[in-house]
Structure 1
Amino acid sequence: MSVSNYVFVAILVSALVTWIPRITPFVFTKYFKLPKIVAKLLKFLPITIISALLLQCLLQERTGGVPTFKLLECIAFFPALFIAIRTKDLMKTVITGVFVIALLRVFM
């Protein structure tokens, strides 16, 4: 197998491995009804994922020490949170966060 064929096969296998876990839940939930408790828990899943990603962005990990907060990201968090609560629009929230962090990096 030549290098280009190997790379092509590696890309296809990688795409398949990434695609299967993302599509499989949709296929299963289309044909099977979930128990009420599972459906209720799944309603909280996006909130927990967003919270975990957000906390990961706001904290600076230190090897062998306690994580500390990143100052600029924490300052930019509050205007973005305000826009998120006020508008409930993800695009406006992201644009606000990016704009505020850009301004903070220019002036600080």
Structure 2
Amino acid sequence: MALTNYILYIIIGCGLATWLSRILPLVILKNMTLSKKVIEFLSFVPIAIMSSLWFESLFIQHIGHLPSID
């Protein structure tokens, strides 16, 4: 019984950490105005994340997945 409570607390804690990491920046930046340079810099973040995920899948072999270009 104690193990299931422990697992439940871990799940709740992970959910809370995920929720806080997504909501806290919105709450903090809601009342602030960002400069045009900061907004322009942040517009490149999705492109950088997508390209890093794409290159990682091309150059690192994952056992059990389809072969990739080396």
Task: Please classify the TM superposition score into its range, dividing by the shorter chain length.
Answer: 0.7 to 0.9
Q: TM-score, normalised by structure 1?
A: 0.51
TM-score of the aligned structures, taking structure 2 as reference length? 0.74
CA distance in 1 between counterparts of 2:60 and 2:2 reads 44
Structure richer in helix, relative to its length = 1
**Alignment RMSD, CA only?**
2.3
Q: Which runs of 4+ in 1 moved over 4 A?
A: none
Quick one: distance in 2 between partners of 1:25 and 1:49? 18
Residue 24 (1) aligns with residue 24 (2):
yes
- Helix, strand or coil at the partner of 1:31: coil
5+ long unaligned stretches in structure 1: 62-69, 75-108
Residue 26 of structure 1: CA displacement? 1.9
Q: In the alignment, is residue 14 of structure 1 matched against residue 14 of structure 2? A: yes
Cα distance in 2 for partners of 1:2, 1:31 equals: 44
How many residues are matched?
A: 65
User: Paired residue for 2:42?
Assistant: 42
Q: Percent same amino acid among aligned pairs?
A: 36
The answer on 1:59 being equivalent to 2:69 is: no
| Aligned-pair CA distance for 1:48 | 0.6
Q: CA deviation at 1:60?
A: 2.2
The letter of the residue matching 1:47 is I
Task: Give me the whole-angstrom Cα distance separating, in 2, the residues matched to 1:29 and 1:47.
Answer: 22
Q: Which residue is equivalent to 2:64?
A: none
- Code of the residue aligned with 1:4 in structure 2: it is T
